A = this chain, B = another copy of it.
Amino acid sequence: MNKTQAYNTKHRERYLDELMEFLRIPSVSADPNHAEDMMKAARFVSSQLQQAGADRVEIMATEGHPIVYGERMLSPDLPTVLVYGHYDVQPPDPLDLWHSAPFEPVVKPTEKHPQGAIFARGSSDDKGQVFMHIKAFEAMNKTGELPCNVKFMIEGEEEVGSAHLGPFAAAHKDLLQCDVIVVSDTGIIDNQTPVITVGLRGLSYVEIELTGPNRDLHSGLYGGAVANPINILSEMIAGLVDENRKVTIPGFYNDVLTVSDEERAEMNKAPFELKAYLEDLEIDAPCGETGYTTLERTTIRPSLDANGIWGGYTGKGAKTVLPSKAFAKISMRLVPNQNSEKIAKLFKEYFESIAPDCVKANVTYLHGGEPYVMPIDSEGYQAGYKAMKKTFGKAPIPMRSGGSIPIIPLFEEVLGVKSILLGFGLDSDLIHSPNEHFGLFNFYKGIETIPWFFRYYSELMG
């Protein structure tokens, strides 16, 4: 891999310039106003794959945003690695909390990144990490050191639930045939402590519309006699957890796999300092299910969060309105063996059943994904382990993540292939928040590590 690494070193500056160009495209999949930008981002990925040496590249239409497919097939006798990632990003709001514009990337040093970090929406999640793969692929190609077949599938709907990727995979099983899927959309503990993510939570996301009177009312003339949908919605949301912060939806925990005391003890050996965690978030206390540690609460236990709420007058000053409607977005993170659609159904049934007769509740299922676990004795995990140990000089820790990548369990179901989650971000990257960033160290470390993954994986399969 010497030539590959020398090539990387030589082209460092250009790699960064090209990533900046990618980050300037506001490919917000949730916002219909950015449809054009989505196509622009897809074309950018496609052209990059072509220049990197793919022998087939295609922007493939779906009923939603398109999927960029690329491949370089050396020989049917060699193993095939499929790289999955996404070119779409989260909405950037609230805009006023960004220190620089979300789609005008700048490099600035931070406490954790003295060498600098790229600030832009999507820098860590996931454009920066997708781009590590494209550049590693380019380096291996240009130096003749690519050891196996490679396929790329870069989608544009990860941040809105990947609704069209499952049907796409099912319809293109032959095209996508591979031995392992590699995904860089997760993180490491810090730049000295590599991690391989071996578990993901699932997700069930719903939206609630609560209707009281048929119109906004004057809160003086009607207040006290007519149900206020904001008050009632608050009461209903409050009723979703009990005093131990356990979810009260009947059946919610039925399918939760109990993790053994031994495994829990092992998990809790991972480097974690509650004091530093609280200081980083500037909170006085954690808040979660009684009987579990913070690490457990975000990995092996399901959770329920209101992601948004709105209703009535939200402008400046005072308006004495008793509103007709109130709304909330609520998501539940799931663990093995919970099922996203089943949980959404339980939520809907329960929530609509607890609505008092003075309001009408309507729950809509927006999207979901299943939880996932990666076995550490697989070739994929082992190759990732060796590659990180090589480039970090330290063995990576297998850890579960609290996040969800709904397509990972779906790939296993549809393509019968496991995924290795080889991510290089940090928890402090502020993904999904204002001022998202990605360390230059992490970007280049990814480009350095990925070719080793390909080498070790080919050897283990050889």
Contacts and interface: CB of A to CB of B under 8 A. Distances in A.
Contacts of A298: 220-225
Contact of A313 (B213, B227, B329): B329
Given A281-B226, A403-B221, A434 B216 contact: yes
A282 interface: yes
Nearest to A431: B218
Interface string A399-424: 00111100000000000000000000
Contacts of A315: 30-31, 91, 93
B220 A404 contact: yes
Interface in A307-355: 307-323, 326-329, 331, 333
Nearest to A405: B220
B218 A433 contact: yes
A310 B402 CA distance: 26
Contacts of A314: 308-310, 327, 329
A286 interface: yes
Interface string A185-222: 00000000000000001010101000011111111111
**Tally of this chain's copies:** 2
Interface string A261-293: 000000000000000000001111111110000
B285 A309 contact: no
A311 B308 contact: yes
Contacts of A307: 219, 230, 312-313, 318-323
Contacts of A228: 305-306
Given A313-B91, A329-B313, A432-B321, A303 B231 contact: no
B306 A231 contact: yes
Given A91-B315, A358-B283, A333 B32 contact: no
Interface in A219-256: 219-228, 230-235, 237-241
Q: SS class of chain A's interface: helix, strand, loop or mixed?
A: loop
B308 A319 contact: yes
A430 interface: yes
A157 to B, nearest CB: 10
A318 B205 contact: yes
Given A219-B333, A235-B238, A309-B311, A225 B319 contact: no
A309 B306 contact: no
A331 B231 CA distance: 12
Contacts of A431: 218
A301 B308 CA distance: 33
Nearest to A274: B225
A347 to B, nearest CB: 14
A213 B435 CA distance: 15
A35 interface: no
A356 interface: yes
Contacts of A288: 224-226
Contacts of A367: 318
Given A282-B214, A357-B284, A221 B401 contact: yes
B303 A224 contact: yes
A94 interface: yes
A160 interface: yes
A312 B318 contact: no
Nearest to A293: B225
Contacts of A435: 215
A400 to B, nearest CB: 11
Given A223-B331, A230-B305, A318-B366, 19 more contacts: A30-B316, A31-B315, A93-B313, A215-B435, A217-B281, A218-B432, A226-B283, A232-B287, A234-B235, A284-B357, A306-B311, A307-B313, A307-B319, A307-B320, A308-B311, A308-B312, A309-B326, A318-B367, A320-B432
Interface of A: 30-32, 90-91, 93-94, 97, 159-161, 201, 203, 205, 207, 212-228, 230-235, 237-241, 281-289, 294, 297-298, 301-323, 326-329, 331, 333, 356-359, 366-367, 401-404, 427, 430-435
Which are the 7 A-B pairs with shortest beta-carbon distances? A224-B303, A220-B403, A308-B312, A227-B287, A30-B317, A230-B306, A238-B238
23 contacts: A93-B313, A94-B216, A160-B318, A205-B318, A214-B283, A215-B434, A218-B431, A219-B307, A221-B401, A223-B402, A224-B402, A225-B286, A227-B285, A231-B241, A235-B237, A235-B238, A306-B311, A307-B312, A307-B313, A314-B327, A318-B331, A320-B331, A321-B432
